[in-house]
Amino acid sequence: MAHPGFFQRQAHARRNTSLLVLLFITAVALITLAVALVGYFVTRSESSGLAFHHWLLSSHGLLTAATVVLLIGLGSLLRWVDLAGGGSRVAKMVGARPVDPDTRDSDERKLRNIVEEMAIASGVPVPELYVMDQETGINAFVAGYTPGEAVMVVTHGAITQLSRDELQGVVAHEFSHIFNGDMRLNVRLIALLAGILMIGQIGGFLLRTSFYRGHRVGRSRDGRAQAAMGIIGLALFVIGYVGVFFGRLIQAAVSRQREMLADASSVQFTRNPEGIAGALFKIGLKGGYLDTTSHASDMNHMCFGESARMKFTALLASHPPIDERINAIQPGMLARLRSRLRDTEPGADLYRSSGPAPAAGTSGFTGAAPEILGPVSGKGARTSPLASGTEAPTKPARKFSDQVGTINRQSEDFALRFLSRLPATFRNLLYTRAGAVQLCYAMLISELSREQQVQRLTLLPPHPVLGSQPDLLKKLLPALKTIGDGVRFPALELAMPALRKLDPEEREGLITNVQKLVAADNRVSLFELALTSFLSRHLGAEADRVVPVRFKSYRPVIPALQRLLSLLARAGSPSQADAETLYREAMAGFMDTRNGTQPVLEKVTMRQLREALTALNGLSPLLKPAVIDACGHCITHDGKVETREYELMRLVADQMDCPMPPLMV
């Protein structure tokens, strides 16, 4: 199937939000009319037999309609507020347990390793992981408002019954939802469905109450009132099922195509179609229903497979049929999987026959080329395979914007090599709050002398978690020097689950401490700017805020583009003349530079750069690719990417909410 790019999928997700609102309004209108019809028959005698359309405009009709709309709105608002906690709140709602980053359970470690590989390879912070211990079905979902605070929830059945290849296919499918902006839409849909279902819940309550009180009052004069309450409750309960029907229709309308796209993305990311196909095949055999939570139907549109049993599956299912999904991945795949099941081939051989088998333990993340190892060490480190060899540098074949929101072979190789080179002690420290905090400090002082390090750390106030901890720093600093400054961002992404566990006051304190260390020498390097911006973006008070679209053309952001591209052109050029030429080439896509009236800016302050990136993040998703490509042109015009250029590119991508793989050319 044709596979749209990251920015097209982002724009589609925003259009889906508008569709969701339209469907919600339609459902509310129909439910309101249905309840008003019940009210019409109940109060008809009091209204002198008015026709329904006249009654609807009477005081009785308007009051009934207003009450219904208010109840539905209140139900949605209460759930919306309840889910303001983001992905972690959704995980707790279904009874999921957070996975200890240092877990000793082999299945949980398998899951964590796959997720960490995928996160580092795609350039997004590692999601928090949760497991539904009581669920034996095979299923998973991601939840959250932004990629920086996403959580991934996996059932116990998924991590125990799926092979590594199959679990990797499921994880890649869920990462696609993170990239595409589906998570935010899914959480909002839960809230809207809660309001639609409110009328049915009220009807059920009235029905139960009437029967309970009816048994107690017997034949008293209140019997008629109880009977009327029961009839009204029954009517509302039936109307509630109409709400359920519309709710499921809305789920299906916004979910089915996204699931097919996520399946295709999984194949694209892992290059192993039999991984996700095998997982789907096992769901078809063993099921993926969530049986231990009352929210299974609410979560149906979010999950990898159907989470709730329902009638009229062909019409109301949030996912296409399993057979259709498998054959869409690769024609004839379903027949091959069924044949292998009949032949009872060993599980180790079951999902390898369509291509060369990966090396043991790699599961689709094939071995890195030796030349990728070199670029991750030393001040002159390059994060590109072009760093090695003596051949003349060549221009990259792919545009930078094509790599956003994707995982490629080079980034996968990089992730595997990076994780394998991390000392065990260093990696385990990143899983703790104190260790993750000290990593932020260590990255800022690692190149200083011992005396300067001690002097800088005295600027930090004492604190059990945020204060300087020399014992931990002694373990982190040597490892940072060994693995090189070119992998500082991947290490920071690995530490994000622990940093997200900081209290709001501790997060603010960490950002303040980092700013103190940065300001100590009265200058700000590009990495220091990137680090402070990264922490503010993902740990600040507005970390989970979705940036709205403010600009639908480049004209309002031309000053921001001039500042950003001036800085990148000067960073990627050895001379002023080269910088001028490179700047004009980069700006040519946004304005006429032939008359030379817009020279490259001599100075761009850090504050101006922050303001420029904030403005550019307000662009429509379909306008961002040109900005990313212009930045990429500046740093790759000579066929190589220096560490400072890479870190500047990562800063731009992160602040514009564009997940960028670590190896870009």
* 413-445 tens-digit pLDDT: 888 888 888 888 899 999 999 999 999 999 999
Active site residue 506: no
CA terminus-to-terminus distance, the chain: 26
Token digits for 471?
A: 């014992």
Token digits for 324?
A: 């259709």
Is residue 391 scored above 60 in pLDDT? no
* Residue carrying the six token digits 């200083």: 448
Q: Return d(Cα 368, Cα 90) in angstroms, integer.
A: 37
Would you list the DSSP string of 93-112?
Answer: HTT-EEPPTT---HHHHHHH
Q: Return d(Cα 308, Cα 287) in angstroms, integer.
A: 10
Please work out, in degrees rounded to the nearest 5, the angle formed at the alpha carbon of residue 396 by the alpha carbons of 394 and 398. Answer: 160
The 3-state DSSP class for residue 640 equals: coil
Kindly state the DSSP code that residue 596 receives in the 8-state scheme.
-
* Residue carrying the six token digits 């104190």: 434
Q: Return d(Cα 69, Cα 26) in angstroms, integer.
A: 12
- The tens digit of pLDDT for each residue in 184-224 reads 878 888 888 888 777 777 776 766 676 665 555 555 555 66
Please work out, in degrees rounded to the nearest 5, the angle formed at the alpha carbon of residue 534 by the alpha carbons of 471 and 182. Answer: 120
Number of H helices, E strands in the chain: 29, 4
State the CB neighbour count (10 A cutoff) for residue 546.
11
Between the ranges 371-380, 473-482, 655-664, where is the mean pLDDT highest? 473-482
Confidence grade of residue 10 (pLDDT, cut at 50, 70, 90): low
Contact predicate 59/47, CB 8 Å: no
Q: Return d(Cα 303, Cα 291) in angstroms, integer.
A: 14
Give the CA distances from residue 290 to residues 17, 132, 209, 338, in Å, rounded to whole numbers and listed in that order: 26, 9, 30, 25
Token digits for 661?
A: 């793989």
- Which runs of consecutive H residues, i.e. helices, occur in 218-312? 223-270, 273-286
Confidence grade of residue 357 (pLDDT, cut at 50, 70, 90): very low
How, if at all, do strands 97-98 and 151-155 pair? unpaired
Question: H or E element: which one contains 131?
Answer: strand 128-132
Selecting among 174, 306, 412, 647, the annotated active-site residue is 174
Token digits for 298?
A: 């609410």
CA 549 centroid distance within chain: 18
- The tens digit of pLDDT for each residue in 295-309 reads 888 788 889 988 887
Mean residue pLDDT of the chain comes to 79
* Residue carrying the six token digits 């070199």: 374
- For residue 436, which amino acid is it? A
Q: Please state the pTM of the whole predicted model.
A: 0.78
Contact predicate 121/662, CB 8 Å: yes
The 3-state DSSP class for residue 98 equals: strand
State the CB neighbour count (10 A cutoff) for residue 229.
18
Q: Return d(Cα 553, Cα 616) in angstroms, integer.
A: 11
Q: To the nearest whole percent, how much of the chain has pLDDT over 90?
A: 23
Contact predicate 537/148, CB 8 Å: yes
Question: H or E element: which one contains 130?
Answer: strand 128-132
- For residue 72, which amino acid is it? I
Q: Return d(Cα 622, Cα 630) in angstroms, integer.
A: 14
Contact predicate 272/169, CB 8 Å: yes
Is residue 395 scored above 60 in pLDDT? no
Confidence grade of residue 411 (pLDDT, cut at 50, 70, 90): confident
Is residue 368 scored above 80 in pLDDT? no
* Residue carrying the six token digits 């983001």: 86
Report the pLDDT value the prediction gives residue 258, as an integer from 0 to 100: 81
Q: Return d(Cα 94, Cα 77) in angstroms, integer.
A: 19
- The tens digit of pLDDT for each residue in 310-330 reads 665 556 677 888 998 998 888
